């Protein structure tokens, strides 16, 4: 399995082409429409509802992008679809709604957020909900997660959809919720072959890691996150095959 060419022939907008000052917040339908209009690929995130649906939303808590408080997973799909986003005219969209909106016009890179809390094996419901929403979708799509257990589950649930690992240098300063042993393990990307991945999306500041070079030489697609300037993009492209960007037009 390889990542389709569509994921390499255009930059990928991180959480879609968001600009809060222009009324488009992360992962909203407004930001998704803007990315489509600009011809960019779209990276987006999914979180689980209380009634087992995948919603396009990055945070596990509601407070940063809505007037509500508390975890996303305590609310139903209907409640979240009615919940207004701050600084954006829309509400939190279900994955099915976004797929209908995109309709195959640009490639979709979907990150399944860790529901275990420690990158462990307590997963399943969000993976199943995501795959169910994708049933019958005909556009270019790839799935990824920081949690290797999620990516391994996708190999069984949907073996024909390209899958990858979201990866990082795992500096414990930036991952306070993870035990240092977990950071030390995941930093070396040991699960790439085991989960049947065909790409990684790696932290841009850590692209010079020897393991990234090794995987590239083995034929892995190398994406990276998150690029925020033309200068950073130029540096990243010396190693990465494509960039995920925000805050400027790549």
- Measured N-to-C along each axis, helices 95-102 and 125-134 cross at an angle, to the nearest 10 degrees, of 30
Instruction: Please report, in tens digits, the pLDDT of each residue of the chain (250 residues total).
Output: 999 999 999 999 999 999 999 999 999 999 999 999 999 999 999 999 999 999 999 999 999 999 999 999 999 999 999 999 999 999 999 999 999 999 999 999 999 999 999 999 999 999 999 999 999 999 999 999 999 999 999 999 999 999 999 999 999 999 999 999 999 999 999 999 999 999 999 999 999 999 999 999 999 999 999 999 999 999 999 999 999 999 999 9
> Beta 41-48 vs 108-112: how paired, if at all?
parallel
Question: Is residue 8 within 8 Å of residue 239, measured between CB atoms?
Answer: no
- Measured N-to-C along each axis, helices 95-102 and 29-38 cross at an angle, to the nearest 10 degrees, of 30
Quote the pLDDT of residue 26: 98
Quote the pLDDT of residue 230: 98
- Transcribe 62-108 into DSSP letters: STTTBS--SBGGGS-HHHHHTPBBTTSSSBPPBHHHHHHHHTTSS-E
Domains of the chain: 5-245 (3.20.20.190)
């Amino acid at each position: 399995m390889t990542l389709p060419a569509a994921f390499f022939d255009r930059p990928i907008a991180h959480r879609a082409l968001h600009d809060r000052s222009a009324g488009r917040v992360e992962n909203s339908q407004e930001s998704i429409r803007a990315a489509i209009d600009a011809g960019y690929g779209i990276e987006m995130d999914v979180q689980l509802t209380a009634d087992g649906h995948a919603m396009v939303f990055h945070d596990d808590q509601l407070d940063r992008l809505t007037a509500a408080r508390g975890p996303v997973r305590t609310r139903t799909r209907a409640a979240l679809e009615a919940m207004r986003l701050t600084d954006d005219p829309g509400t939190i969209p279900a994955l099915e709604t976004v797929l209908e909106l995109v309709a195959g016009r640009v490639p979709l890179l979907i990150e399944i957020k860790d529901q275990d809390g420690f990158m462990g094996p307590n997963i399943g419901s969000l993976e199943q909900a995501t795959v169910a929403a994708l049933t019958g979708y005909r556009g270019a799509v790839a799935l990824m997660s920081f949690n290797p257990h999620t990516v391994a589950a996708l190999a069984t649930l949907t073996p024909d959809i390209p899958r990858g690992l979201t990866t990082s240098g795992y500096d414990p300063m930036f991952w306070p919720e993870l035990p240092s042993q977990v950071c030390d393990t995941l930093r070396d990307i040991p699960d790439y072959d085991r989960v049947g991945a065909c790409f990684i999306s790696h932290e841009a500041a850590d692209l010079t890691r020897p393991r990234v070079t090794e995987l590239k030489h083995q034929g892995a697609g190398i994406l990276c996150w998150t690029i925020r300037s033309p200068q950073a993009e130029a540096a990243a492209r010396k190693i990465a095959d494509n960039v995920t960007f925000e805050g400027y037009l790549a």
